[in-house]
Structure 1
Amino acid sequence: MKILAAMSGGVDSAVAAARAVEAGHDVVGVHLALSRMPGTLRTGSRGCCTIEDSMDARRVCDQLGIPFYVWDFSERFKEDVVDDFISEYEHGRTPNPCMRCNEKIKFAALLEKAVALGFDAVVTGHYAKVITNENGNRELHRAADWAKDQSYVLGVLTHEQLKHAWFPLADTPSKAEVRAEAERRGFSVAKKPDSYDICFIPEGDTREWLAEHIEMNIGDIKDTEGNVLGQHEGSQAFTVGQRKGLKIGHPAPDGKPRFVLEIRPKSNEVIVGSKELLAVEEIRGIRCTWAGEPVAQFAEFIQRPAELGAASADIDITSQVRAHADPVLSSAHLEWVSDDESNDENALRLEIVVRLKEGLRGVAPGQTLVMYQDTRVLGQATINRAYSLDRADV
């Protein structure tokens, strides 16, 4: 097969490319230039996709004897990831830019270009598995090493994208084994630290970065009874579940810490309360996509004519709302509801409603809900609302 290896400059993508070459495929390495700041350099393990990373990727490709290219996707990255990140925070939501990058850049723009150039598949160093089921359809599953599993951030992949995705690290028992393999192959990235934090915020201070890109206005911090407890310098810089940075100046009556329960961008208010009030029992998600073909119960419902109030049958799933969170037992069904964002009063949108059988705390609108059955990723949705059924104030 003709393979395009997406080379981040890290150890995982290096070993993934090496395994593709070793398997006898015709492999070409490509590094994505996502920033137009030519002086950007990695600081330790902060950030990614920098000049240093590009040089590391080139060295690996030279050792493997494969062609290497740098593709400039910076404009699309700014529009689809950075601008989206800013917009979501402006509207009081907490986005996951890595999800958007995988969706819009690594497995949309990159794959689109790769297929147009005649490549059969794109290889990355993600820890996840794609299998073909008995019906010939592709499914996304968790990796063998659950500690490093990255199927959550790949939950945005569609059936068509999975046809052209290959993850050679899927069955690798541990990251330590990948590093050992890289060292045996003589790759200089063998001991390179993993990247973390948001790549376009290399200093790691999201609040300071947002203040440079969003107009912040002073507003009230209130409790659930509507009492004003203090003021903030911009509600957009907060997220649900946040404890630090409230600067209220006096303790709660019970002496316990307060947490952000809700952000209200229209009134520029931040609502705070006890940790117990962060408990969530139901999640509603919008913009659903399916990783492969939808499960039969959902597929049948989606194909029906949309009818306000119509709902599918419940199915048992596990839900994950953060990349490194534990999945929780849940049940889920689909509903057709009025689309408030449409100018057409008759327009409907599809929502997924997830009832949690186990507790979750601090779930924020804008986060991504990824749904599983056993190891299989069913799909994902953007969280529109997460709340306790016993609370009327949030």
Structure 2
Amino acid sequence: MKTITPHEAVAELARHAPDGRVFLSAGPAEPLVLHDAWRATPETAAALSFAGLFIPGVNRLDYASLHPEARMELFMLSPDWRAGLAAGRTRVRPLHYSAAFAALVAEGATAGVFTVSAPDAQGLCSFGLAADAPPAMLARTGFKLAIVNHAMPAIAGAPRVPLSAFDAIVESDTALPTLAGAPANAAAQAIAARVAALIEDGDTIQTGIGKLPLAAVEALAARRNLRIHSGLVAPSHLMLADAGAIADEPAAIRAGIAVGDAAFYRRIAAEPRLSLVGVPETHGAAALARIERLVAINAALEVDLFGQVNAEYAGAEQISGVGGLVDFIRGARTSRGGRPIVMLQAEGKGGVSRIVPRLSAHAVTVSRADAPIIVTEFGTVDLAPLDIDARAEALASVAPPSARDDLARAWAEMRATI
């Protein structure tokens, strides 16, 4: 094992992975210290394919832009990576998060970059704030490069690895990637209040990212003995802890990654209830089914009268991905006492209804067979027990009032052809 500079590191990756796949830790563990080195020596990125569980809004670099022959593999899309997709250098694989992880591990990587904390007295490094994929990928990677980032906290409840497991290390003290919170508007607060009414003391909560789910978390401060089981832990979850809403027991906060701002990273590092684990434990069907009273709280862009959910497309343009949405909807349905909730701001800009007659085929993220509880600023409806006519009627009732007559007429026309 040798200590090398960032410029030497990108050259080593190119040497060990010619025409190969390079795994990168993502989320708050993305190796930002290597970005300038790649930009300064773009030839070191030529013919490499960069893969990882990159998170929109947290991981921003378009690795396919480093060199005309560089490639990037994604499971979710964001505007930051659209240029690579348009140029044909970025692959987007539309998989559920659990399946994306399984594919990543099954295919392995020729080389990998893993961000870890500084080693302790026993020479063990913590995977820090990202335990989702890196521990499993370590065994599926050839050349292993460690970024020993002194800004990465050593999380007591995260997996550890001997520093000797790596072929080379780069010492760094680089600020970690962050996720900015989105302020909740009046509609978001109204939806969050309706969601809070569905949550009971003692429930286990999963939330997606975005202003609606995180507003729902903040609305739960008066609940007690809650547990968190989620792909991601954010600052709003710590607000619940500070409010006394989280159960006082080990692993009461369980997730794959933790992401927020610098103050959040300092605070979460000292949280004794935090347990960070891999994707099979956060998103796996068997693991979710074992959790009693799992309430999945996520957001969508559109819902149609059949109960199909769009969480990926704005018009014809893909702006996100499936992520863990379907994993958690199905997990909450199989959980004893569980409830899958999808939040939707039903009235968009200009009064446009986001409850529509029928989604375009490419925009269906959640099928009608997995229909969840829909919560809008106008009401709440559980679609699972309803037949097709009752679903259409119920969904129209939680649409903007100005759209309800048009939705009823549209359903009558579609119903005549079923």
Q: 1 or 2, which has the higher helix percentage?
A: 2
**TM-based fold match above 0.5:** no
TM-score (normalizing by structure 1): 0.31
